[in-house]
Structure 1
Amino acid sequence: MFEVYLFDWGDTLMVDSKDTAGKMCDWSEVQAMPGAYEVLEKLSQQAKIYIATGASSSSADDIEKAFQRVNMSQFIDGYFCQDNLGIAKGLPDFLPAIIARLGRPQAAIAMVGDSWQKDMQPALLAGIQPIWLSQQAEVASYPAIRIIRCLNELCCP
């Protein structure tokens, strides 16, 4: 168990419909990923939960509104995005800026996401624990990365 979990947003905690334009908070329909509610509910009892997203057109308030629509905002302690950090996800300073704001040691922080390039590699470079949510049939084993197939595995190591 970590003190802090950073979660990617799209296709990690909420379904990112590639066919729908605009901010997720304004979509006619939004949907949580399977197990997301239960996992956040459980983890939030013992850890801080933050969203670390690359959603460039959404503010932290927009992101919170989307989470309110699936009744998960109550479990989230904060939202990090380009709007409030001034740094886009994927740039080398994105996660270090979040770590600095959190004021916690790197060993106490995990990054959970579905993208190797946008979540796992930056987490490794930032010195925090990467947890890769991967639906791929075959994934190479990386000793420094925990690989999970579904979010529920976060609560059952």
Structure 2
Amino acid sequence: MIEVYLFDWGDTLMVDFPGVSGKMCQWGKVEAVYGAREALETLAKTAQIYIATGAADSTELEIKFAFERVGLSQFITGYFCQENVGFLKGSPEFLSSILNKLNTPLANIAMVGDNFEKDINPAINAGIKPIWFTQKNIENSHDNVKVISKLSALYK
């Protein structure tokens, strides 16, 4: 049973609008990915939810504020980013540092993200459950990777 979900931020839980730069908490428009609220609300009943983001220009508080703007922060236990982890997302140290802080058996942790190189591959290497959220029609050649196209697939 999954006790902890680590979620990527941009294009996994909140829309990362093309061509918009800067800190998401300061964007004129922010939007949750379709189905994010329902997924987090459902999963938070039985698991802890953390954000594990590579957003290098945002602090933990700024990330939390962006989630507050779309009404998702109430379901999130904590936020991991370059500022408080000390490593770039995608590096082996990033996920390793987070897993050490969680103090949860690896078999009970899942990483949900849209980027294979920065979310899924590190999850595979760390020994946690990788869940690839993608709208692309891909051929999954990895037996241990769950591929979903809707966040509702996490709880249905």
Same fold (TM over 0.5): yes
- Please name the residue that 1:137 is paired with: 137
Which residues in structure 2 correspond to 1:75-90 (within 5 Å)? Answer: 75-90=75-90
> What amino acid sits opposite 1:17 in the alignment?
F
Which residues in structure 2 correspond to 1:3-42 (within 5 Å)? Answer: 3-42=3-42
Alpha-carbon deviations, 1:20-69, whole Å to 9, x = none?
11100000000000000000001001100000000000011000000000
TM superposition shift of 1:139: 2.4
Corresponding residue pairs, total:
156
Which residues in structure 2 correspond to 1:88-127 (within 5 Å)? Answer: 88-127=88-127
**Gapped regions of structure 1 (runs ≥ 5):** none
**Gapped regions of structure 2 (runs ≥ 5):** none
Q: Which runs of 4+ in 1 moved over 2 A?
A: 138-141
Q: Distance in 1 between matches of 2:95 and 2:83?
A: 14
Q: CA RMSD in A?
A: 0.8
TM-score, normalization by structure 1: 0.97
TM superposition shift of 1:17: 1.2
> What amino acid sits opposite 1:62 in the alignment?
E
Q: Distance in 2 between matches of 1:148 and 1:83?
A: 29
TM superposition shift of 1:137: 1.6
- Please name the residue that 2:73 is paired with: 73
Percent identical residues: 53
Q: Distance in 1 between matches of 2:21 and 2:122?
A: 27
Alpha-carbon deviations, 1:82-138, whole Å to 9, x = none?
000111101111111000000111001000000110001000001100000011123
TM-score, normalization by structure 2: 0.98
> What amino acid sits opposite 2:26 in the alignment?
D
